[in-house]
Chain A
């Protein structure tokens, strides 16, 4: 049994506690330990990805108790991919937070950041449905703290909406888990897969209700219409590095949908027939349309990027809801791409907000921001990627999704919505970019002189972080072929859950055995 699987959970948990308790009053040490912890997670995540890349399924039994009685962590291709994606995202986001000084505009940024990582990584790795709930709560409670980091009336007000919405989501999750437990008597995912499949077809009302409730819970996390209301305001109001980290939080919902609805309620299961065809796909297409219309309708840059997140989740869920190996593989590629692209855009929003004078994120004319060429160039690249224009990865991702839906009976709908919303997104992004970066009015010379004196030195680290994200987007584009082969293998593994189930349930571990004598003594 490899102990590395639990490292992505233990490491940030320890690091967060250490940062709060020991180096609370030392900003420099906080940064050093936070960065060191995140880099260590990246190394472990890369190791896990490498170990699982040949199709191995790694299992970790907590306390050595055998499943389904003990809690297990499982790393298969899908889990390892998302763990690696989170770690890869966390490093530039953390660098940005340090470089721009965001981490010191409130207290406990680094501790909350580490707890957030712990929750996200744990949710990707766990093999137990109730444990998934616990990790959801860990990542949510850290995100509540990060959301209102550095305060401000708007952030608090939106923060309340965000917290209340997610509290209701958590309550629904508990109801769903209670129903599942009442119907099947287990919460281990692999065990659930076996027991749900063995249920008699005419006695499944409870499990069907639970499946729909779970789908709703994950749809709240993934911001699928009509459960997306918390996202645009929350992501727009959150501090830039926090919003960038949140880019992977919506993917937790997408991951959970992929995991539950390939393992426990697979597409060929009779009792959940029609769930995706009649509900998930239309909802995803409407989400996509709404997100892209939001890009066009937004009147501030932060709202625009927040709606881009909604749109990208719609695109992702469109591909998932086809529920074919090709669809899942395309969705995985798009998930990687959209996480990196939205993170880059949110960080750029932060840069513009810090540097631009006046109503910084509005589209009104303002004096040109210092260092505009580089910022505008990065925005151009990230917007191209997000809108899905060639040559960057968004185009490849969109192409894969279109290809995956080719054989689907609703192909006309999917293609029409995907292609027309792309056009809307292009218009929205180009309007925002030209208003922010080009429609600068020439300020009078005196103002320029004072501005040049007043202007704080523009730190280089944020731009390095954003450049790193853009470079990763370019890499994802260049290595699209190998990545796509890898994701196809991941999807194939998901659609053949036999090895996953047997690894979880057949690995020996400790169990309680007691004979008649010990029972006599106990009495």
Chain B
């Protein structure tokens, strides 16, 4: 169980970082999505891994799973979902207005401070 969770966090993070470093909008968006999955799984693990336990704490009950990370993960999922939607829209706007899906300031793309604004 620990191995499965740890390796999934690791693989997702590695793949996410690799994709983000591609510096084209589509891979970068997929990469940030993978990173947010990685962090969600990681947050789950932060409350210790417990299988088939109720997420409630009562007097006299010793076997339970920590409910707080689940609430944190829920918040993180909602936020990352919204953020992904925003980044898709902004990236689409950037692509449609300049016909270019590079994210970095490469040669040929106007650098800040050099060229006039339209």
Contacts and interface: CB of A to CB of B under 8 A. Distances in A.
A347 interface: no
B94 A156 contact: yes
A167 B97 contact: no
Interface string A110-145: 000000000000000000001000100100110011
Interface string A482-523: 000000000000000000000000000000001010010010
A182 B91 contact: no
B90 A516 contact: no
Interface in A142-190: 144-145, 148, 151-154, 156-161, 163-164, 167-168, 170-171, 174-175, 177-179, 181-182, 187
B39 A160 contact: no
B60 interface: yes
A152 B97 contact: yes
Interface string B31-57: 010011011001101111000000000
Given A151-B97, A514-B58, A303 B83 contact: no
B6 interface: no
Contacts of B45: 178, 182
A519 B60 contact: yes
Classify the secondary structure of B's interface with A. Answer: helix
Contact of A141 (B83, B100, B103): B83
Contacts of B104: 161
A158 B83 contact: no
B113 A141 contact: no
A141 B80 CA distance: 11
A164 B86 CA distance: 10
A167 B91 CA distance: 13
Contact of A164 (B58, B59, B68, B87): B87
Nearest to A162: B90
B114 interface: yes
A181 B59 contact: no
B61 to A, nearest CB: 9
A246 B60 CA distance: 51
A168 B97 contact: no
Contacts, number: 128
**Interface band, chain B:** 35 or more
Nearest to A519: B58
Main secondary structure of the interface of A (DSSP, over half): helix
A359 interface: yes
B79 interface: yes
B112 interface: yes
Q: With a 10 A CB-CB cut-off, give which of B58, B69, B117 has the most chain A CB atoms.
A: B117
Interface string A203-245: 0000000000000000000000000000011001100000000
B58 A160 contact: no
B15 interface: no
A181 B90 contact: no
Contacts of B60: 516, 519
B34 to A, nearest CB: 10
Nearest to A361: B117
B32 A141 contact: no
Contact of A153 (B58, B82, B97): B97
Contacts of B103: 160-161, 164
Contacts of A154: 110, 112, 117-118
A199 B64 CA distance: 24
Contacts of A178: 39, 42-43, 45-46, 69, 72
B113 A181 contact: no
B105 interface: yes
Given A181-B72, A300-B113, A171 B39 contact: yes
A171 B86 contact: no
A167 B39 contact: no
B112 A130 contact: no
Interface of A: 130, 134, 137, 140-141, 144-145, 148, 151-154, 156-161, 163-164, 167-168, 170-171, 174-175, 177-179, 181-182, 187, 232-233, 236-237, 298-300, 302-303, 306, 359-362, 514, 516, 519, 522
Given A156-B97, A164-B103, A299-B114, 12 more contacts: A137-B83, A141-B86, A151-B97, A152-B117, A159-B90, A170-B79, A171-B36, A171-B38, A178-B72, A360-B117, A519-B58, A519-B60
Interface of B: 20, 25, 28, 32, 35-36, 38-39, 42-43, 45-48, 58-60, 68-69, 72, 75-76, 79-80, 82-83, 86-87, 90-91, 93-94, 97-98, 100, 103-105, 109-110, 112-114, 116-118
15 contacts: A134-B75, A159-B94, A160-B25, A167-B87, A170-B80, A170-B83, A171-B36, A177-B43, A178-B39, A178-B46, A181-B68, A236-B112, A299-B113, A300-B114, A522-B58
Cβ-closest 8 pairs across A and B: A156-B94, A303-B113, A182-B46, A178-B46, A153-B97, A174-B39, A153-B98, A156-B93
